[in-house]
Amino acid sequence: MPATDLCYLGLVEVGQQIHARKLSPVEVTKAMLGRIERLDGKLKSYAHVMADSALAQAAIAEKEIAAGKIKGPLHGVPVAIKDLCWVKGAPAAHGMTIHRGFRPDEDATVVARLKDAGAVILGKLQQTEGAYADHHPKIDPPKNPWNAELWTGASSSGSGSATAAGLCFGSLGTDTGGSIRFPSAANGITGLKPTWGRVSRYGAFELAATLDHIGPMARNAVDCGAMLGVIAGQDAKDTTAVPLPVPDYLAGLPGNLRGVTIGVDRRWTSEGTDEAAAKVLSEGLRAAAELGAKITEVTFPDSKAVIDDWFPLCGIEAAVAHEATYPSRKDEYGPGLAGLLDLGLAQSGTDYQKIVLRREAFRGAVRILFETVDFIAVPAQAFAAPTLAKMAALGEDASLIAGLLRFTCPFDMTGSPTITLPGGFAPGGGPVAFQFVGRHFDEAGLVRTGDAFQRVTDWHTRHPAL
């Protein structure tokens, strides 16, 4: 098999071939490492490549599989980790210069679970500073493999770029305001943001504790389900990880949406939304209806207040996460993250309590909405495939910020699970996506819905011409 074709196989697919001994974990890992060496000098998706340990893990997996001891769908499959998740002995800079020398002496829970499942860890993926909006001024940001002039998404930019470019079969990202969904949309891959509490956050640098979600980014919904099935579940090291059973996300995939009700607020999803983003959502709903889903009109709760509240809330929680180094080492921070921390530190106790009350009221209103529908369909963002030049004006353009966060941060404020699915291309050539949003802890339903959509479309199978 040509190396390029191999590197674009789905995660579950390559795992099946490895387990059938049609492919060798060692040879697959070597192919991935060779591709990273050839391409990542320009893409800059990796913060740190772990070639030696990856090959050692692949060799162990090969022996175990040869002995018939297959641990699951990820056994022997090379994946990569967003830099903020700890990998024992490897650098974990969190997109910052201030942590450049930090090497944790233990794995994050999600990393430990990937290793226990036999996955091969290729390395750490680059991210924005502190997982906020901008890359640190001294760090080269990852490039979008479709077009270097297009935005790569924030903050899991390296995860999006590497997965789209065939430099890993799947990756971990995190989402606080949209950072699994933005890079998934921008790079034409599938991203699954789990319910807050579904996945342990132990051993991952925080941006904002009650908003942070760790989740998989991969080729397709099934691959995301395979990864989530490994990393999800309660954890004694993180008591916010809920003690609910973890479903088999690869079971019961009927390939249709009969009996499923999908809600859409056509006013909310169309006002201020550009033509390409609106078209992709419309085509996604059309495909869902043809698959048997009932599409029903809903009125989504007014989200303007919680979008406005997201910034000070994120700033308050981030200020707690950074209190050991900010403002005492402010000169080592980039302007974007420093501005967020200053905003958080400027809030009063009563400001915070008002945000908490508005957030809880909004969460309740969204929960009631899900009493009448199984999923809600929304764009990934209000404008499709933004250029770097457009995103450079983000700080000066309030409408741009609102359009970016309109369909993402409300579902971090509620903790709702979402799946982001590639659904087309903008006139300029960049990928465009839409989302399904589910009830809390119904990630299995999102995987089923995403899989059904991807059985009748081919957007997720298209790859950049590198």
Annotated catalytic residues are 82, 155, 179
Stated as kind and residue range, the H or E segment containing 104 is: none
Task: Give ∠ CA 15-21-24 in degrees, rounded to 5.
Answer: 75
Residue by residue, DSSP assigns 193-255 as EPPTTSB--TTB--S-TTT-EEEEEESSHHHHHHHHHHHBS-BTTBTTS---PPP-TTS---S
Whether residue 86 contacts residue 180, with contact meaning beta carbons closer than 8 Å, is answered with: no
Cα–Cα distance, 189 to 423 (Å, whole number): 10
Cα–Cα distance, 43 to 80 (Å, whole number): 15
Helical spans, DSSP H, in 24-82: 25-43, 51-66
Stated as kind and residue range, the H or E segment containing 343 is: helix 335-345
SS3 82: strand
Tokens 């409408």, located at residue? 399
CA nearest to 288, candidates 445, 463, 462, 461: 445
| Widest pairwise Cα distance in the chain | 62
- Phi and psi, residue 200, nearest 5°: -60, 140
Cβ neighbors of 339 (< 8 A, separation 6 or more) are none
Whether residue 214 contacts residue 110, with contact meaning beta carbons closer than 8 Å, is answered with: yes
Whether residue 12 contacts residue 72, with contact meaning beta carbons closer than 8 Å, is answered with: no
Tell me the residue length of the chain. 466
Q: What is the DSSP letter of 382?
A: S
Cα–Cα distance, 223 to 216 (Å, whole number): 8
Q: What is the DSSP letter of 308?
A: H
Cα–Cα distance, 47 to 45 (Å, whole number): 7
